[in-house]
Amino acid sequence: METTLRGVGVSHGVAIGEVRHMGTAVLEPPAKQIPAEDAEREQGRARQAVDAVAADLNARGNLAGGEAQAVLEAQAMMAQDPELIADVDRRIAVGSTAERAVYDAFASYRALLAGAGEYLAGRVADLDDVRNRIVARLLGVPMPGVPDSDEPYVLIARDLAPADTALLDPTLVLGFVTEEGGPTSHSAILARALGVPAVVALPGAGELAEGTVIAVDGSTGEIFVEPSAEKKAQLQAAAAQRKAALGGSTGPGATSDGHKVPLLANVGGPADVPAAVEAGAEGVGLFRTEFLFLDDSKNAPTEAKQVEAYRQVLEAFPEGRVVVRVLDAGADKPLDFLTPADEPNPALGVRGLRSLLDHPDVLRTQLTALAKAAEGLPVHLEVMAPMVADRADAKAFADACRAAGLRAKFGAMVEIPSAALRARSILQEVEFLSLGTNDLAQYTFAADRQVGAVSRLQDPWQPALLDLVALSAEAARAEGKSCGVCGEAASDPLLACVLIGLGVTSLSMGAASIPYVRASLAKYTLAQCERAAVAARAADSADEARDAAQAVLSGE
Catalytic positions:
186, 486
Q: Are 499 and 472 in contact (CB under 8 A)?
A: no
Among candidates 454, 489, 458, which has minimal Cα distance to 472? Answer: 489
According to the annotation, is 439 in a ligand binding site? yes
Q: 87 by DSSP, 3-state: which?
A: helix
Question: For residues 523 and 370, what is the distance between their CA atoms, to the nearest angstrom?
Answer: 38
Of 463, 30, 69, 507, nearest in space to 272 by CA: 69
- Of 263, 301, 275, 307, the closest CA to residue 66 belongs to 275
Residue 298, Cα to own-chain centre: how many angstroms? 24
60 is in an annotated binding site: no
- Decide: 120 and 331 in contact? Cβ < 8 Å: yes
As a whole number of angstroms, the distance between CA 121 and CA 112 comes to 9
d(CA 290, CA 437): 18
User: Which residues, 6 or more positions from 141, have their beta carbon under 8 angstroms from its beta carbon?
Assistant: 26
* Beta strand segments in 386-505, E: 409-414, 432-435, 482-485
Exposed, middle or buried: residue 52 (CB in 10 Å: 0-12, 13-18, 19+)?
Answer: middle
| C-alpha gyration radius of the chain | 24
- The 8-class DSSP code of residue 88 comes to H
Q: What angle do CA 154, 157, 159 make, to 5 degrees?
A: 130
Tally of CB atoms within 10 A around 236 = 13
List the one residue out of 458, 498, 499, 459 whose CA is nearest residue 476. Answer: 499
Helices vs strands, H then E, count in the chain: 24, 16
8 A C-beta contact, residue 214 and residue 208: yes
210 known member of a binding site: no
Range list of β-strands (E), 289-353? 321-325
Q: Confirm or deny that 90 is annotated as ligand binding.
A: no
Cβ atoms of residues 164 and 145 within 8 Å: yes
Estimate the crossing angle of helix 493-501 against helix 526-537, to 10 degrees.
90
Binding-site annotation, residues for Mg(2+): 415, 439
Binding-site annotation, residues: 288, 325, 415, 438-439, 449
Binding-site annotation, residues for phosphoenolpyruvate: 288, 325, 438-439, 449
